[in-house]
Amino acid sequence: MPKVNIKYLGPARDWSGAAEEQIEVAAGETVEGMKLELGRRIPQLASARGIRMAVNRAYVKAGYQLSDGDEVAVIPPVSGG
């Protein structure tokens, strides 16, 4: 099974309890599928609005298929002033 490296940024880091982790994904898993799975494991991610995912430092579409060794960043919305 392919393994991907997840990096949690901003509040997602607090919600997950870790800055990063490595997880196994099914062959052909998409970014959207992984986002749903992370939401099941981390309830705050499921309820947060505007979560973006980047793969290998680039924003990708929800249907993007993950590959072994990909780096996936979980990016919550940012506000400031």
Average pLDDT over residues 44-55: 91
- CATH superfamily for 3-75 is Beta-grasp domain (3.10.20.30)
Instruction: Collect all residues with Cβ–Cβ distance below 8 Å to 22 and sequence separation of at least 6.
Output: 3, 4, 5, 6
Q: Is the dihedral of CA 73, 78, 61, 15 positive or negative?
A: positive
Q: Where does residue 31 fall: left (phi above 0), alpha (psi -120 to 50 degrees), or beta otherwise?
A: alpha
- Domain layout of the chain by residue ranges: 3-75
pTM: 0.90
Q: What pLDDT, on a 0 to 100 scale, did the predictor assign at position 12? A: 94
Q: List pLDDT tens digits, range 5-45.
A: 999 999 999 999 999 999 999 999 999 999 999 999 999 99
Reported as a pLDDT band with limits 50, 70 and 90, residue 80 is low
What backbone phi and psi angles, to 5 degrees, belong to 36?
-65, -40
Reported as a pLDDT band with limits 50, 70 and 90, residue 78 is confident
